[in-house]
């Protein structure tokens, strides 16, 4: 993950990933030695904090706000100012993903930050019911997986993913169906033991939940899978990660630069780490460059079906 | 009512609701029965699951006693099967069946069971059955049955079998459609655990034999079964194509799908020939049959087979689109220029390995993704003073009728007609000539000029119009008479007008004869 950051962030500071401690230290180094043209003043600190506050409004676009654009320019041109802004962000419990004109001051909440989103606040039912909690988490993962279906899409800064609510649901259901078919072929009985619901396969939890349902007031059934996915995308729109483009197929959306950064640098690797900890190793050598091909037998994908998928 | 007896003894095998399982499988695996191997148990488990699919239908007849009111007379299982039939038949490639449509279509059957009961009650029964088939009350909107099997260690394990009969799927524009699940189709057709293709062939052959022997009632049943199979086939293809659009690599386009398409195309060609032959046969049977009941059944059968052919044609066009779709998707998905960097493969490295994990372990991964993938929220802080004010503010009164419409400002347009109503009346009066006394235009003009200097213009205009009288229109409208004008070559001598001095007269039309003609034509 850190190796992307080096070439993706044009500034001298590798902005992402390292967390608060590193930033605090660096900022402290910077202040006593203002070798630049002018020493930093409280006004500069105010400007740096202002830039971070712009970053906290994820739907705000630098192109639409002259002051924001000006502060971004300062961040790019004045290393001392950039370090100050990074320090302010770190002090607030924020991780800087990227600072650029396309994504703005892309910051995200560090773990345990006051800005972090908690599952309990996100969906009340989720804290009581582990199946619901899983489905809400899976919905977010599936939205990202469909928005960036191939590794290149996630890596390509210019890529804009497009998803629909029903599309995400169909995509997960298809994956579940493949697993079901495979289990049938292998003659496995996937019905879970009655007294151990936690051992039920994850795909079954999704497959069993109905896709939609009629309600009295013509709203989406909140507990259905499309309801859960719609909640996820609406939330992501508020986070400045998706933009609504239409009403087709339950709602159509496209991704923003921030979402790509968030998935690539934060969420994807965190989830990968957790998966590896569970002893599931989808990659042999742990490097992030391995792509489907030989390894996809277990997905029932066609191994090298004439598709020029490269690994590197 | 073939399902009546079922309502008497509820099956003890499975518990179809989500409540805790009661007395379950032990009777099937008695105390003295040696633990069979997993292979032997597999068939048993399959049959138990098949049996469980019928349980919701029996359950309806058991639970109807709990409904407030006298509902014992309704055969609920029969209504339920009819509902599943209707949903299955309404399933097409793109959408399923509509709730209201299904209720409306099943109502005649419910009404036929108890013709004397009010229509509202019939509708309530239809809705109750439909809702119970969806199992609206449960979170998953599905059913769960518990059954027991021996695992590989010879240990007895109780398992949950989750299934749905009718599922709700999202349609265009946020609407909700109904689809019959595979389980439902299998229960309905009664061909549990059989191959789609061979079952269809069997049904076709059976149909042909039945028709040759003249047993049309059975033939209709077989034809309907054939149609369910066709629908099921189309559904499989639709899913494959959907998956291809998302990710070509998720579908085996090397062997499985091309094989399936070839097979399906052969199948369509075969069925098409077959069903056309059947259609010819039934048409003959329909036309030759003496008995009205046979005739009616044959006519119904013709409709069903026509529908089958329509569905086959639809399936075939989709099959032909499949290859180009694959190539286009492959171009789009696989041949794009690779970027210099590679990234994380979210599907291959996260979603796919995650789904087979047990839920309690998978949740750790999704939690991690959720915690880092949702972005940030700025916590909102409220000042107590603002809060008090907000809480004490009375709610805004909403205007029900909306804004008041402004009174439209109408301007009277000046009457710019060349002639007035009175002038027209005068002219018509002048031209109201007896049928046996036509007049010269010159005389009419002179008379008009005496009344009003403007009137000759109107008379001249009407006379010119009469030179080509609308005979057809008058004929159609059943007019009694018609004004006509004929030019006999005489020059018009008039100070204001020139041209021919027309002979203007009235022709009587034979209204009665015309009416007779019209009715004859009709």
Q: Which residue, chain included where needed, has tokens 């029964």?
A: B125
CA nearest B170: which of A275, A98, A250? A250
Given an 8 Å threshold on Cβ–Cβ distance, is B376 in contact with A299?
no
Q: List the single best residue of B174, B345, B356, B357 to mutate versus A (max A Cβ within 10 A).
A: B345
Q: What is the DSSP annotation of B454-469?
A: THHHHHHHHHHHHTS-
pLDDT at residue A29 is higher than 50: no
- Residue B120 token pair: 């509202």
Q: Are residues B65 and B184 in the same domain?
A: yes
Given an 8 Å threshold on Cβ–Cβ distance, is B242 in contact with A174?
yes
Write B65-71 long-range contacts (CB < 8 A, 24+): B67/B128, B69/B121, B71/B125
CA nearest B301: which of B317, B313, B289? B289
- Residue B449 token pair: 């000029």
Q: Does A312 touch chain B (CB under 8 A)?
A: yes
Q: pLDDT digit string (tens) for A108-124? A: 888 788 888 888 778 77
What are the angstrom distances between the C-alpha of A271 and each of A93, A210, A295, B92, B205? 21, 26, 19, 39, 55
pLDDT at residue A105 is higher than 60: yes
Flag whether B364 is in a domain.
Answer: no
Given an 8 Å threshold on Cβ–Cβ distance, is B170 in contact with A226?
yes
Does residue A310 or residue A225 have the better pLDDT?
Answer: A225
What are the angstrom distances between the C-alpha of B70 and each of B73, B82, B122? 8, 21, 12
Q: Are residues B207 and B106 in the same domain?
A: no
Q: Are residues B5 and B150 in the same domain?
A: yes
Flag whether B125 is in a domain.
Answer: yes
pLDDT of res. B389: 84
Query: Which chain B residue has the Cα nearest residue A133?
Result: B363
pLDDT of res. B191: 43
Q: Does B22 touch chain A (CB under 8 A)?
A: no
pLDDT of res. B205: 53
CA nearest B81: which of B235, B177, B187? B187
Per CB-CB distance under 8 Å, the chain A contacts of B42 are: 187, 189
- Residue B144 token pair: 């769960």
Q: What is the DSSP annotation of B235-271?
A: HHHHHHHHHHHH-GGGS-TTTHHHHHHHHHHHHHHHH
Q: Are residues B433 and B456 in the same domain?
A: yes
Q: Does B182 touch chain A (CB under 8 A)?
A: no
Give the count of domains, chain B. Answer: 3
Of A140, A202, A203, the CB nearest to B374: A140
What are the angstrom distances between the C-alpha of B146 and each of A128, B185, B516? 24, 21, 78
Flag whether B347 is in a domain.
Answer: no
Domain end marker among B189, B208, B239? B189
Coil, strand or helix at A289: coil
Q: Which domain, by its residues, includes B150? A: 1-189
Question: Which residues 269-308 of A are in CB contact (within 8 Å) with B?
Answer: 269-275, 277-278, 280, 282-283, 288-292, 295-296, 298-302, 305-308
Q: Considering chain A, what percentage of its residues have pLDDT values greater than 70?
A: 73
Q: List the single best residue of B140, B166, B342, B378 to mutate versus A (max A Cβ within 10 A).
A: B342
Of A113, A189, A267, the CB nearest to B369: A267
Domain end marker among B189, B209, B243? B189
Q: Does A245 touch chain B (CB under 8 A)?
A: no
Q: Which residue, chain included where needed, has tokens 């060349």?
A: B418
Domain end marker among B189, B216, B245? B189
Given an 8 Å threshold on Cβ–Cβ distance, is B372 in contact with A305?
no
Q: Are residues B97 and B181 in the same domain?
A: yes
Q: Are residues B168 and B199 in the same domain?
A: no
Helical (H) or strand (E) element with B360 = helix B359-373
Flag whether B342 is in a domain.
Answer: no
pLDDT of res. A26: 45
Q: Are residues B63 and B178 in the same domain?
A: yes
Which residues contact residue B201 at a Cβ distance below 8 angstroms, ignoring those fewer than 6 apart?
A: none
- Which of A76-90, A164-178, B388-402 is predicted with the least confidence, judged by mean pLDDT? B388-402
Are the C-beta atoms of residues B149 and B167 closer than 8 Å to each other? no
pLDDT of res. B101: 84
Using CA atoms, how far apart are residues B234 and B213, in angstroms rounded to an integer? 31
Question: What is the full per-residue pLDDT of chain B (522 aa) written as tens digits?
Answer: 343 433 333 333 344 443 333 333 334 444 444 444 444 566 677 778 878 888 888 888 888 877 777 787 888 888 888 888 788 777 655 567 788 888 888 888 888 888 888 888 888 888 888 888 888 777 777 888 888 887 777 778 888 888 888 888 777 666 778 888 877 776 655 543 344 445 555 555 555 555 555 555 555 666 666 666 677 777 777 777 777 766 677 677 777 778 878 877 877 777 777 677 777 777 776 776 666 766 777 777 788 778 878 887 887 888 788 888 878 877 776 665 554 455 677 777 787 788 888 888 888 888 888 888 887 887 777 788 888 888 888 877 766 677 777 787 888 777 778 888 888 888 888 888 887 888 888 888 888 888 888 888 888 888 888 887 777 777 777 777 888 888 888 888 888 888 888 888 888 877 666 666 666 555
Using CA atoms, how far apart are residues A283 and B502, in angstroms rounded to an integer? 104
β-pair partners for B440: B503
pLDDT at residue A151 is higher than 80: no
Are the C-beta atoms of residues B375 and A169 closer than 8 Å to each other? no
Tell me the angle at which helices B216-246 and A165-186 cross, rounded to the nearest 10 degrees. Answer: 110
Does residue B215 or residue A13 have the better pLDDT?
Answer: B215
Q: Are residues B177 and B199 in the same domain?
A: no
* ipTM value: 0.72
pLDDT at residue A61 is higher than 70: yes
Helical (H) or strand (E) element with B178 = strand B176-180
Neighbours of B93 (CB within 10 A): 15
pLDDT at residue A90 is higher than 70: yes
Query: Which chain B residue has the Cα nearest residue A294?
Result: B348
pLDDT at residue A193 is higher than 80: no
Of A115, A267, A277, the CB nearest to B372: A267
Q: Does A206 touch chain B (CB under 8 A)?
A: yes
CA distance A83 to chain B (A): 22
Question: Which residues 142-171 of A are in CB contact (within 8 Å) with B?
Answer: 142, 144-146, 148-156, 165-167, 169-171
Of A146, A239, A250, the CB nearest to B174: A250
Cβ-count burial of B32 within 10 angstroms (0-12 exposed, 13-18 middle, 19+ buried)? Answer: exposed
Q: Does B176 touch chain A (CB under 8 A)?
A: yes
Question: Which residues 89-128 of A are in CB contact (within 8 Å) with B?
Answer: 94, 107-109, 111, 113-117, 119, 122
Q: Are residues B75 and B13 in the same domain?
A: yes
Are the C-beta atoms of residues B326 and A306 closer than 8 Å to each other? no
Per CB-CB distance under 8 Å, the chain A contacts of B176 are: 212-214
Q: Are residues B199 and B306 in the same domain?
A: yes
Question: Which residues 190-209 of B are in CB contact (within 8 Å) with A?
Answer: none
Q: Are residues B199 and B169 in the same domain?
A: no
Question: Which residues 243-282 of B are in CB contact (within 8 Å) with A?
Answer: 243, 246-250, 252-254
CA nearest B212: which of B280, B270, B281? B281
Helical (H) or strand (E) element with B167 = strand B166-170
Q: Are residues B66 and B19 in the same domain?
A: yes
Coil, strand or helix at B410: coil
Given an 8 Å threshold on Cβ–Cβ distance, is A94 in contact with B174?
no
- Residue A180 token pair: 């079901």
Using CA atoms, how far apart are residues B244 and A266, in angstroms rounded to an integer? 29
Classify residue A211 by its DSSP letter. S
């Amino acid at each position: 993950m850190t190796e992307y950051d080096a070439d993706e962030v044009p500034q001298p500071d590798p902005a992402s990933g390292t967390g608060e401690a590193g930033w605090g230290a660096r900022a402290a180094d910077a202040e006593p030695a203002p070798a630049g043209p002018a020493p930093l003043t409280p006004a500069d600190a105010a400007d740096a904090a202002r830039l971070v506050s712009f970053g906290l409004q994820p739907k705000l676009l630098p192109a639409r706000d002259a002051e924001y654009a000006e502060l971004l320019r300062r961040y790019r041109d004045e290393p001392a100012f950039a370090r100050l802004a990074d320090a302010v962000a770190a002090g607030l419990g924020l991780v800087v993903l990227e600072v650029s004109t396309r994504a703005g001051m892309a910051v995200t909440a560090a773990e345990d930050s006051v800005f972090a989103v908690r599952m309990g606040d996100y969906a009340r039912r989720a804290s009581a019911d582990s199946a619901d909690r899983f489905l809400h988490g899976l919905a977010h993962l599936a939205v990202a997986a469909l928005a960036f279906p191939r590794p290149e899409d996630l890596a390509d800064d210019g890529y804009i993913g497009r998803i629909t609510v029903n599309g995400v649901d169909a995509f997960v259901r298809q994956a579940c169906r493949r697993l079901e078919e495979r289990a049938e072929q292998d003659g496995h009985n996937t019905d879970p033991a009655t007294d151990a619901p936690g051992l039920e396969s994850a795909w079954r939890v999704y497959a069993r939940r109905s896709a939609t349902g009629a309600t009295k007031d013509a709203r989406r059934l909140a507990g259905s899978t499309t309801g859960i996915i719609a909640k996820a995308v609406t939330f992501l729109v508020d986070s400045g990660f998706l933009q609504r483009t239409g009403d087709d197929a339950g709602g159509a959306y496209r991704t923003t630069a921030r979402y790509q950064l968030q998935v690539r640098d934060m969420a994807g690797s965190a989830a990968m780490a957790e998966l590896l900890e569970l002893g599931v190793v989808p990659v042999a050598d742990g490097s992030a460059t391995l792509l489907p091909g030989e390894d996809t037998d277990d997905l029932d994908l066609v191994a090298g079906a004439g598709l020029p998928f490269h690994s590197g | 009512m073939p399902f009546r007896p079922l309502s008497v003894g509820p099956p003890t095998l499975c518990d179809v609701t989500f409540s805790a399982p009661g007395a379950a499988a032990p009777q099937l695996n008695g105390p003295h029965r040696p633990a069979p191997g997993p292979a032997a148990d597999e068939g048993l488990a399959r049959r138990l699951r098949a049996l469980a699919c019928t349980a919701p239908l029996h359950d309806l007849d058991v639970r109807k006693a709990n409904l407030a009111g006298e509902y014992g007379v309704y055969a609920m299982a029969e209504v339920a099967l009819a509902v599943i039939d209707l949903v299955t038949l309404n399933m097409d490639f793109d959408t399923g069946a509509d709730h209201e449509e299904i209720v409306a279509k099943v109502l005649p059957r419910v009404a036929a069971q108890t013709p004397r009961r009010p229509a509202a009650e019939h509708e309530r029964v239809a809705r109750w059955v439909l809702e119970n088939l969806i199992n609206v009350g449960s979170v998953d909107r599905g059913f769960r049955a518990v059954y027991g099997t021996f695992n590989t260690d010879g240990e007895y394990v109780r398992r949950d079998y989750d299934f749905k009969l009718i599922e709700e799927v999202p349609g265009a524009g946020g609407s909700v459609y109904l689809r019959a699940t595979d389980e439902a189709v299998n229960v309905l057709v009664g061909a549990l655990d059989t191959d789609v293709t061979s079952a269809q062939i069997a049904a076709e052959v059976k149909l042909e034999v039945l028709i040759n022997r003249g047993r049309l009632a059975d033939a209709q049943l077989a034809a309907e079964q054939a149609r369910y199979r066709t629908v099921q086939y189309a559904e499989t293809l639709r899913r494959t194509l959907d998956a291809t659009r998302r990710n070509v690599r998720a579908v085996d386009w090397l062997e499985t799908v091309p094989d399936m398409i070839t097979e399906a195309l052969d199948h369509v060609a075969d069925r098409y020939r077959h069903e056309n032959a059947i259609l010819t046969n039934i048409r003959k049977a329909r036309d030759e049959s003496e008995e009205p009941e046979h005739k009616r059944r044959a006519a119904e059968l013709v409709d069903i087979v026509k529908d089958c052919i329509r569905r086959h044609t639809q399936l075939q066009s989709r099959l032909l689109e499949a290859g180009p779709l694959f190539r286009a998707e492959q171009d789009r998905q696989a041949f794009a220029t690779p970027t210099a960097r590679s990234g994380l493969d979210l599907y291959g490295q996260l979603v796919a390995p995650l789904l087979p994990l047990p839920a309690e372990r998978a949740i750790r991964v999704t939690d991690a993704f959720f915690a880092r993938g949702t972005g940030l929220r700025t916590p909102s802080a409220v000042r107590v003073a603002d809060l008090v004010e907000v809480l004490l503010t009375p709610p805004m009164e909403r205007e029900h009728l909306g804004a008041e419409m402004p009174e439209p400002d109408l301007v009277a347009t000046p009457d710019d007609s060349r002639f007035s109503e009175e002038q027209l009346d005068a002219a018509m009066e002048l031209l109201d000539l007896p049928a046996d006394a036509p007049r010269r235009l010159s005389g009419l003009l002179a008379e008009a000029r005496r009344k009003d200097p403007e009137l000759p213009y109107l008379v001249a205009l009407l006379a010119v119009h009469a030179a080509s009288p609308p005979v057809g229109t008058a004929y159609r409208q059943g007019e009694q008479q018609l004004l006509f004008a004929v030019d006999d070559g005489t020059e018009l001598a008039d100070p204001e007008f020139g041209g021919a001095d027309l002979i203007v007269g009235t022709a009587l039309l034979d209204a009665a004869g015309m009416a007779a003609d019209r009715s004859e034509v009709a």
